[in-house]
Structure 1
């Protein structure tokens, strides 16, 4: 396997996490002038109990040997979450699948999943694959977001749609907060399938086309299933508030169920019902 993509991703991630830690957060004295935000490399190395040279090589993306004990120490020094730690391990130890997946790969939604989508009739729900392509949705999702049936399957990538379609940009009251959660999920997949060249090409195309994606991607956020509350301003229904829950579907295709549950006592569920009835 060509390690270039993996090591580059590791380098970018470590730099992003280091830049977000202030000296105060790490227990270092305040007052020293710093040319760049965050901790210095030597400070991270000191906390992790490794040499500055070795940590510098790791952060530069050099192909060096690492151990789980050292990665644990670095994770603690950078104050990584559980999901971020898993991402670090996947990149540093080459964990996860090494194969690429065909871009022509077709996902068939099982009858049981189809029934689940139907039963969640008042909860907008979408199903995405490991590349965040939308492969299933219910009527509520079509009414709240957009009619995915009108979008060719090859262009039905959720990450791209969040940036390219005005329907999403105008819908979410806090669009950046809304998008950040999905980018964090996408980065989790990237760490698992970094050998798949599709990811590198897609990220490069998104960064070239959407400066906002470049900025959010460089934040280095990682989350396998962020649970957030999101407020929408729907063109027909007005204010709607949902809790977003992401569920991983066990199986060979790494499918994910994203369910928007109407928040009680906000009138959101009634508005969803009316939208469906009038569609």
Structure 2
């Protein structure tokens, strides 16, 4: 991400978060003369203890000097959570200005990860890199989502697939809810690796191909580990309920593990077992 794109991302994030705060939630009157939703710039500046001019410049994406303490004050005024606060700092300071291009992992995963994937027999599990390229999955994931083995390596990007493949669009009852979980993690990576030009190229492509991507992306949601309840309507297994748990894999390569565990008393695991057994008998 070049400096211009980084500052534009910072500007969009601040504007989005300011618009999400209801004046009454911070003890301000709603009023009848507010032309835009959320707080005014001068109100954020006052709560953060900075001048309105300085905050305006920051929100406009000007290249100005900032400090950690001032950013923390702005984060508090905007009621940012820990992940959003880190994202703000990442964009403001460009902590990784010269990140090398990460290539698709084509060799085998570490044996420890392969073991985890096989042990999670009835928990669909995906492992992705910082670009959300799918680098590992188990049999359960192939049965619930897609047979990723049939997809060329260069096309195994999870963000792209959930927009491009009709099977995944039809799978989730609330598709937007399903997608937002992935996008919130993707944005956390986006802020962390601001020097990686791959993100700008990818975002440009996605916005061009899928207008709804831009709408969801502009919501500026950030989370390193969203916990979601997802309802699927599987073409062969019917209604399935999963809890999504996301974990960062520790090691030399930046990997993410998304584990879907069946909701208790939902009969999801039994349905998945039958689906896997039937499919394997017919293969």
Shorter-chain TM-score tier = over 0.9
TM-score, normalised to structure 1's length? 0.97
What is the aligned partner in structure 1 of residue 273 from structure 2?
Answer: 273
Partner SS for 1:260: strand
Gaps of 5+ in 1: none
What is the aligned partner in structure 2 of residue 224 from structure 1?
Answer: 224
What is the aligned partner in structure 2 of residue 128 from structure 1?
Answer: 128
Partner SS for 1:240: strand
Partner SS for 1:278: helix
Contact 1:140 1:276 in 2 (8 A): yes
What is the aligned partner in structure 2 of residue 68 from structure 1?
Answer: 68
The 2-side partners of 1:194 and 1:139 are apart by 34
Contact 1:97 1:192 in 2 (8 A): no
What is the aligned partner in structure 2 of residue 42 from structure 1?
Answer: 42
Q: CA deviation at 1:84?
A: 0.2
What is the aligned partner in structure 2 of residue 169 from structure 1?
Answer: 169
The 2-side partners of 1:25 and 1:127 are apart by 39
Gaps of 5+ in 2: none
The 1-side partners of 2:163 and 2:266 are apart by 28
Partner SS for 1:225: coil
Contact 1:16 1:220 in 2 (8 A): yes
The 2-side partners of 1:60 and 1:77 are apart by 17
Q: CA deviation at 1:94?
A: 1.9
- The CA deviation string for residues 28-51 of structure 1, in whole angstroms up to 9 with x for no partner, is 112232222221111111111101
The 1-side partners of 2:76 and 2:107 are apart by 39
What is the aligned partner in structure 1 of residue 16 from structure 2?
Answer: 16
Q: CA deviation at 1:102?
A: 4.0
What is the aligned partner in structure 2 of residue 249 from structure 1?
Answer: 249
What is the aligned partner in structure 2 of residue 116 from structure 1?
Answer: 116
How many residues of Structure 1 are paired with residues of Structure 2 in the alignment?
279
Contact 1:5 1:194 in 2 (8 A): no
Partner SS for 2:79: coil
Contact 1:107 1:135 in 2 (8 A): no
Provide closer, same or farther for how the CA distance between residues 97 and 246 of structure 1 changes in structure 2, counting only shifts above 3 A. farther
Provide closer, same or farther for how the CA distance between residues 180 and 8 of structure 1 changes in structure 2, counting only shifts above 3 A. same
Partner SS for 1:95: coil
Q: CA deviation at 1:4?
A: 1.8
The 2-side partners of 1:107 and 1:130 are apart by 16
Contact 1:184 1:221 in 2 (8 A): yes
Contact 1:5 1:195 in 2 (8 A): no
The 2-side partners of 1:129 and 1:264 are apart by 30
TM-score, normalised to structure 2's length? 0.95
Contact 1:49 1:73 in 2 (8 A): yes
The 1-side partners of 2:189 and 2:275 are apart by 33
What is the aligned partner in structure 2 of residue 215 from structure 1?
Answer: 215
What is the aligned partner in structure 2 of residue 260 from structure 1?
Answer: 260
- The CA deviation string for residues 93-131 of structure 1, in whole angstroms up to 9 with x for no partner, is 222463231445646411111111011010000100000
The 2-side partners of 1:258 and 1:225 are apart by 9
